[in-house]
Amino acid sequence: MLQQDNSEREVMLNVEHLNMHFTTKKRGRVNTVKAVDDVNFQVYKGETFGLVGESGCGKTTTGRCLIRLYNPTSGKIELEGVDIMGKMTSEKRKYITDRAAMIFQDPIDSLNPRMTVAEIIGEGLKVRGIKDQKVVDEKIYDILDKVGLTKEHATRYPHEFSGGQRQRIGIARALVINPKLVIADEPVSALDVSVQAQVINLLNDLKDEMGLTILFIAHNLSVVKYFSDRLGVMYKGKLVEVSYASDIYERPIHPYTKSLLSAIPEPNPLKEKRRVRHAYDPTMHDYTKEQPSMVEIYPGHFVYASPSEIDRVLNGGEI
Amino acid sequence: MSNQVYEQNFDINNLDPADFVLINKGEAIKDEVSSIKALGFFKDAWVRLKRNKSAMMAFTLIMIIAFFAVVGPSMNKWGYNDQNPTWTNLPPRIPGLAGLGIADGTRILENRRTDYFSDPNKYPEGSILSYTVTGNVNGIDMATVKVDAYKLAGVPDDTNFLFGTDYLGRDLWTRMWRGARVSLTIAILAVSANIVIGVVYGAISGYYGGSVDMVLMRITEILGAFPQTIVATMLVLILGRGIRGIVTAMLIRGWTGTARLIRAQFFRYKGREYVLAARSLGVPDRKLIFRHILPNSIGPLITQAMVSIPGAIFSESFLSFIGLGLQAPEPSIGVLLSDAQKTLLTYPYQMVFPAILISILMISFNLLGNGLRDAFDPTMRGVTD
Amino acid sequence: MAKYIFQRILAAILTLFVILTIAFCVVRLMPGSVFDDPDLSDSVKKVLEERAHLDKPIFVQYLYFLKGVVTENDWGTSVKLSPGMPAFQVIVQKIPVTMALNFISLLIAVPFGALFGILAAMKNKTKVDTAISVGVILGISIPSFVFATCLQYFLAYKFGWFPILYQPTATTAVKVSSMVLPIFALALSPIATITRYLRGELIEVLNSDFMVLAKTKGLNQFQATVRHALRNAAMPLVSIILHMFAGVVGGSLVIERMFSIPGVGGLMIKSINALDHSLTVAVLIFYAMISVATALIVDLTYGVVDPRVRMGGKKDE
């Protein structure tokens, strides 16, 4: 993976100061959860950007905010240079849905059990005003073939398929409308390990074939390891480190990233025996005197830290 | 292949990445189509329902009652309001059952003067079947007589009132089936209207949530604070005692149950990933509601309708029973029960048939409702609340 | 805690207020007036209507009514059924017999329902269970007045075990025995409902994993049922029973009429037919109060027993 100069690359998705706060009010008590807290990152055209973090860190929420399934509290989201924040109009909805599609996590929950495969995949086409059933069918059969299913599967219901097959139907549904950006929300985490590789490879092949940009959300660094060009690590609603995938693996800076990396099992049993599991303790940071911020510590390598922590890292130490 | 790998004495610490190949990289995935034909949602439910014996029996009974409700009133020559002052309160006579001693058109009369027995004006030829003298008043023997009520009233031998006649000499067979028709019509009207209102209301409340939901649910809570029977009573008084009044009375509160059910379903399904997936494709709200969220509620909705029908039948007969039912001469099951209640101690048979009919109807709809719930949602099997 | 109770009570009072308003409007909008009597001369009628504020717009009538209720517990005056008597007093006279009837029915229903429910659950899939289930379906399906009719005909008329009608003036023994049939008729449906709920709930709990665990610890079926399953089922049962109470009170209307029991239900029918509006409003409020009060009790007991409800889902014990 070549480390290019980012300033020359075309930006597909630009996210600045994105905030998504959920407030629950029960019997007068207001409780605010900052699911996404001041998140900044860019996704360049044609790349695969991995968003990694533990369960509940806000990565799914981020993904859903990006195509306005949720209404973000504040911030700026630009899709191909156009701001998609603000009031949802039908033109804006069309702009977003024409460019971005989503692949969901749960292969069982993400397909409507009452609809046939053809109906599920064809819905996106019909919403776009393609009335001719022949054209719709052709596109459905074409995309089914691409994801390794056949024409005959089109009339079947989701419950007749295995998890991997269902996930491929989900991929077909997302890709049939020819999106430019695909947000894949943990597309393989609910699948059997043996099927995970199959689905990831399929996604990778389709990415090359269709020229997609992929935002790949995962909780498992080993899954995104070879799949992503760049990685963002999230912790409790904040993006703590963004860099090239190889960079993250070779030169992790943020302690949380280190702890995530240390959790990957080694295939070599001798190494696995010696593997030390780092635990991340958020209280190690002393942010009372100085405010942390996102700093580009090396070219293209951003980390969320305070100035004194940056100094320490640059002097060969650790945060 | 794998054996060779093991035989090679490689150094595990110095592996060459080039030796590794991604699993099924570049390999085309081609899935076979399974040959088993899948069952659709309704077919699946139907298969399960068919296995439920009590539900199928209930279904058959309902069908039989519905059949008679349609054709029963025109099966003999009497209309539902054909009165005959000489043929009043005749007991039922069903040809073929007479030999068993039931429904043979006889009646026991107590304390009758034996000296009148020979008067053909009072007791026509052959009307006295047997008697036992029970006492003597003023020198006249008094007796308990078993009479043929039909001969006594001068009804021709070939004329049978299967369920007897009422206090105006009207044929109860005709009246009962017409009553069943009216009661079922009212119930079905009320329940369908309730379902429509409940679905729309619950869908709005559940889909939009937030403050809309809060206001709408407050309203149902307030409506729910009035007991159903009281509200119904009040409304019938305002709107008048016709089908319209009774149906409206059942509407005022009846839909809140459906609304709550649909609202709960919306809360459950609107956040599901397939709904989000459809939204992410730009599917409009209207289509999300009707195509993606509402179909999940069809099972519970059908069950709810089945369970509400006996409730509506009950409400109707309840209103009639307290004297707020349909206006005479229109019968309904409740009107018949209410009329029969007045003469219960002297002519109990007038009560028997409507009471059996309403009980069978209520039981059947309840059983069918249970069966449908189990069929639509097998995980609920055995849990009957 | 105090805040929670306060909030619930406030909400209940607000609900009652809305109901009061609706009841008032609906009853006043009913066609006919008690003074539509051809025997009354126009001038007398006018005076009477003026005294009852009937000549004023409905909103003003409502304000008068509200003022009376709030300041001096004046629910209006009965004009026809018990002329000149305050509606409040008329109702208060009728409440004891109605409440006695309903309370006793429920009091009887709870132990019987619990007994049948536990029995059916423990003997699940045996003849006992089947028999109880059939009974439940019958109890839920057969309307109370049909059941009451059967009781009246067979037990009272044919066998003569009980009086056919309520005997308010007779000796205590006869009075009590004349209450047996109406109470029994009213209790049937609650018994069936409780049985059905408990049976379903217990069967589910008995098949759950923690029940298997309880048995591996050495508890026998009965202990397991009582200690674990019943405890889980108890709270919802309380709310079911309380909600049922409101329903039973409404349903007792017809039973009161069948057995000639001089209760609130009979009063309601009579007052409506006599166009005695003040009385009708008062009776409606009485029924609404029972509904609201039971709902409030359910909320409060849940809040007290289960802290999660009170704290709005937060699990701090």
Residue C28 has a pLDDT of: 74
B271 SS3 class: coil
Asked if residue B280 and residue B147 are part of one domain, the reply reads: no
A205 at B interface, C-beta within 8 A: yes
Out of B102, B120, B152, pick the residue that ends a domain: B152
Phi, psi at residue B331, to the nearest 5°? -90, 155
Handedness of CA B334, B335, B341, B346 (dihedral sign): negative
In this complex, do B282 and A109 lie within 8 Å of one another by their Cβ atoms?
no
Using CB atoms, which chains have 3+ pairs under 8 A with A? B, C
Query: What's the CA gap between B112 and B127, in Å, rounded?
Result: 14
Residues of C in contact with B237 (CB under 8 A): 30, 272
Residue A159's CB is within 10 A of a number of other CB atoms, namely 13
**Domain assignment of residue B199, yes or no:** yes
The answer to whether the CB atoms of C313 and A29 lie below 8 A apart is no
Please list the residues that pair with B148 across neighbouring strands.
B106
Domain that holds residue B340: 172-380
Q: Is B224 on the interface with C (CB under 8 A)?
A: yes
> What is the average pLDDT value for chain A, to the nearest integer?
84
- CB < 8 Å from B in window 89-108 of A: 93-94, 96-98, 100-102, 104-106
- Quote the strand ranges of chain B, DSSP E: 106-113, 128-137, 140-148
Domains contained in chain B, number: 2
Residues of A in contact with C314 (CB under 8 A): 26
Residues B149-177 pLDDT 10s: 777 767 777 777 777 777 777 877 888 88
Optimal mutation site among A114, A171, A272, interface B, most CBs of chain B within 10 A: A114
Give C181's pLDDT tier (boundaries 50, 70, 90). confident
**Residues B255 and B291 occupy one common structural domain:** yes
Q: Which residue has the tokens 């209790």?
A: C187
Cβ atoms of residues A166 and A108 within 8 Å = yes
Q: For residue A28, list chain C residues with Cβ-Cβ distance below 8 A.
A: 3
3-state secondary structure A163-183: HHHHHHHHHHHHHCCCCCEEE
The tens digit of pLDDT for each residue in C202-217 reads 877 777 777 777 777 7
Mutate to test the interface with A, among B29, B270, B279 (most CBs of A within 10 A): B29
Among residues C224, C226, C204, which one has the least CA distance to residue C214? C224
C7 at the A interface (CB within 8 A)? yes
At residue B13, the pLDDT reads 65
Indicate the residue of B33, B274, B278 with minimum beta-carbon distance to A153.
Answer: B33
Q: Are residues B270 and B323 in the same domain?
A: yes
Contact C141 B366 (CB under 8 A): yes
Q: Is the pLDDT score of C108 beyond 70? A: yes
Q: Does the CB of B357 have a partner CB in chain C at under 8 Å?
A: no
pLDDT at C76 over 50: yes
The verdict on A64 touching B (C-beta cutoff 8 Å) is yes
The yes-or-no verdict on residue A274 having pLDDT over 80 is: yes
Which residues on neighbouring strands pair with residue A243, listed in sequence order?
Answer: A231
pLDDT at A163 over 70: yes
ipTM above 0.85, yes or no: no
C288 min Cα distance to partner chain A (Å): 25
Q: How far apart are CA A255 and CA B341, in angstroms?
A: 85
Q: Are residues B124 and B176 in the same domain?
A: no
Q: Residue C175 contacts by C-beta under 8 Å, 6 or more apart in sequence?
A: C166, C167, C168
Q: How many CB atoms lie within 10 A of CB C16?
A: 19
Residues B139 and B286 in one domain: no
**Secondary structure of chain C in the HEC alphabet?**
CHHHHHHHHHHHHHHHHHHHHHHHHHHHHCCCCCCCCCCCCHHHHHHHHHHCCCCCCHHHHHHHHHHHHHHHCCCCECCCCCCCCEHHHHHHHHHHHHHHHHHHHHHHHHHHHHHHHHHHHHCCCCHHHHHHHHHHHHHHHCCHHHHHHHHHHHHHHHCCCCCCCCCCCCCHHHHHHHHHHHHHHHHHHHHHHHHHHHHHHHHHHHCCHHHHHHHHCCCCHHHHHHHHHHHHHHHHHHHHHHHHHHHHHHHHHHHHHHCCCCCHHHHHHHHHHCCCHHHHHHHHHHHHHHHHHHHHHHHHHHHHHCHHHHCCCCCCC
Q: What is the pLDDT of residues A43-84, one digit of tens each?
A: 998 899 999 988 888 888 898 888 888 888 888 888 888 888
pLDDT at C63 over 60: yes
Residue B1 domain flag: no
The two three-digit tokens of residue A269, written as one number: 């049993």
Q: Do B244 and B98 belong together in one domain? A: no
Do residues B110 and B234 share a domain? no
Do B231 and B293 fall within a single domain? yes
Nearest chain C residue to B323, by CA: C269
Q: Quick check: C197 and B229 CB within 8 A?
A: no
pLDDT at site C317: 29
Q: Is the pLDDT of residue B103 over 80?
A: no
- For residue B125, how many other CB atoms are within 10 A of its CB? 7
Query: What is the bridge-based pairing of β-strands A213-218 and A181-185?
Result: parallel
Position C311 scores a pLDDT of 45
Q: Does A147 touch chain B (CB under 8 A)?
A: yes
User: Do B106 and B196 reside in the same domain of the chain?
Assistant: no
Residue numbers of B between 166 and 205 with CB closer than 8 Å to C = none
What is the distance between the alpha carbons of residues B17 and A142, in angstroms, rounded to a whole number? 35
- Please indicate whether, in this complex, the C-beta atoms of C197 and B385 are within 8 angstroms of each other: yes
Please check whether residue C207 touches A, CB under 8 A: no
Residues B286 and B208 in one domain: yes
CB contact under 8 A, B22 and A94: no
> Judged by CB atoms within 8 Å, which residues 212-271 of A form the interface with B?
268, 270-271
pLDDT of residue A123: 87
List the domain boundaries for chain C. Answer: 92-310
Query: What CATH number has the domain bearing residue B195?
Result: 1.10.3720.10
Residues in C touching A29 (Cβ below 8 Å): 312
User: Pick the residue with more confidence: C77 or B352?
Assistant: B352
How much is the pLDDT for B23? 61
- What is the dihedral sign for C-alpha A197, A203, A207, A213? negative
Q: Is C4 on the interface with A (CB under 8 A)?
A: yes
Who contacts C263 (Cβ-Cβ below 8 Å, separation ≥6)? Answer: C94, C95, C97, C98, C101, C252, C256
> Which residues of chain A make contact with B12, given a CB cutoff of 8 A?
268, 270
Is there a domain that residue B117 lies in? yes
End-to-end CA distance of chain A: 27
For A69, which of B40, B279, B296 is closest by C-beta distance? B279
The helix-helix angle for B349-376 and B333-342 (nearest 10°) equals 150
Residue C142 has pLDDT above 70, yes or no: yes
Joined together, the tokens standing for residue B169 give 């000499």
How many CB pairs below 8 Å do chains B and C form together? 119
- Distance CA(B237)–CA(C120), nearest Å, equals 44
In a domain, B29, yes or no: no
Mean pLDDT score, C75-93 = 76
Residue with tokens 């200690």: C227
Q: A124 CA to chain C: closest CA distance, Å? A: 38
User: What is the per-residue pLDDT across A102-133, written as a single tens digit (0 to 9) for each?
Assistant: 898 888 888 888 788 888 888 888 888 888 88
pLDDT of B313 higher than 80: yes
Q: For residues A118 and A125, what is the distance between their CA atoms, to the nearest angstrom?
A: 11
Neighbouring chains of C at 3+ CB pairs under 8 Å are: A, B
Judged by DSSP in three states, B39 sits in coil
As a whole-number percent, the residues of chain C with pLDDT over 70 amount to 83
Nearest Cα neighbor of C258 from C188, C163, C175, C171 is: C163
Asked if A159 reaches chain B (Cβ–Cβ under 8 Å), the answer is yes
Whether residues B266 and B196 share a domain: the answer is yes
Beta bridge partners of A217: A51, A185
Q: Do C257 and B322 touch (CB under 8 A)?
A: yes
B 291-320 near C (Cβ less than 8 A): 310, 314, 317-318
Chain C residues within an 8 Å CB radius of B359:
138, 141-143, 146
Q: Which residue do the tokens 């009479």 mark? A: B147
**Option in B227, B318, B383 nearest C291 (CB):** B227
pLDDT tier, A215 (very low <50, low <70, confident <90, very high otherwise): very high
Contact state of C145 with B318 under an 8 Å Cβ cutoff: yes
Are B274 and A114 a contacting pair at CB < 8 A?
A: no
Length of chain B: 385
Contact between chains at A26 and C312 (C-beta distance less than 8 A): yes
Is C7 within 8 Å of A27 when comparing Cβ atoms? yes
For residue B75, is it within any domain?
Answer: no
Provide the shortest C-alpha distance from residue A31 to chain C (in Å): 11
Q: Please state, rounded to an integer, the average pLDDT across all residues of chain C.
A: 76
The whole-number pLDDT of residue B380 equals 46
Please count the CA atoms within 13 angstroms of the CA of C211 that sit on its side-chain side: 20
In terms of average pLDDT, the best of A91-95, B115-119, B267-271 is A91-95
Task: Select from A123, A171, A185, A195 the residue whose CB has the most chain B CBs within 10 Å, as the one to mutate to test that interface.
Answer: A123
Contact between B24 and A201 using a beta-carbon 8 Å cutoff: yes
Percentage above 70 pLDDT, chain B: 79
Nearest CA in chain C to A29: C312
CATH of domain C92-310: 1.10.3720.10
Nearest CA in chain B to A154: B33
Assign A214 a pLDDT band (cuts: 50, 70, 90): very high
Same domain assignment for residues B222 and B130: no
Minimum Cα–Cα distance from B365: chain C residue: C141
User: B283-298 pLDDT, tens per residue?
Assistant: 888 888 888 888 877 8
Mean pLDDT of A149-159: 83
CA distance A242 to chain C (A): 35
Rounded to an integer, the average pLDDT of B44-71 is 85
* Of B356, B360, B314, residue with least CA distance to B334: B314
pLDDT at C250 over 80: no
Which among C10, C29, C137 is the top mutation candidate for probing chain B, defined by the most B β-carbons within 10 Å of its own β-carbon?
A: C137
SS3 A233: strand
A157: contact with B, CB 8 A cutoff: yes
Which residues does A80 contact at the CB level (< 8 Å), separation at least 6?
A12, A99, A180
Per-residue model confidence as pLDDT tens digits over A15-37: 888 888 888 766 556 788 888 88
Report residue C203 as tokens. 């069967």
What is the pLDDT of chain B when averaged over all its residues? 76
- Measured between beta carbons, the chain C residues lying within 8 angstroms of B351 are 149, 153
Given an 8 Å threshold on Cβ–Cβ distance, is A29 in contact with C312? yes
Per-residue pLDDT, B279: 85
In DSSP terms, which residues pair with A244 in a beta bridge? Answer: A230
- State the pLDDT at residue C269: 75
Of A243 and C245, the one with more pLDDT = A243
Q: What's the rounded Cα separation, in Å, for the pair A137 and A154?
A: 9
Minimum Cα–Cα distance from C4: chain A residue: A27
| Number of other residues whose CB lies within 10 A of the CB of residue B199 | 20
State how far the Cα of B371 lies from the Cα of B55, in Å rounded to an integer.
Answer: 5
- Of C52, C85, C63, C66, nearest to C285 (Cα)? C66
Using 50, 70 and 90 to split pLDDT, how confident is the model at C303? Answer: low
Amino acid letter for position C15: T
- Does the pLDDT of residue B6 top 70, yes or no? no
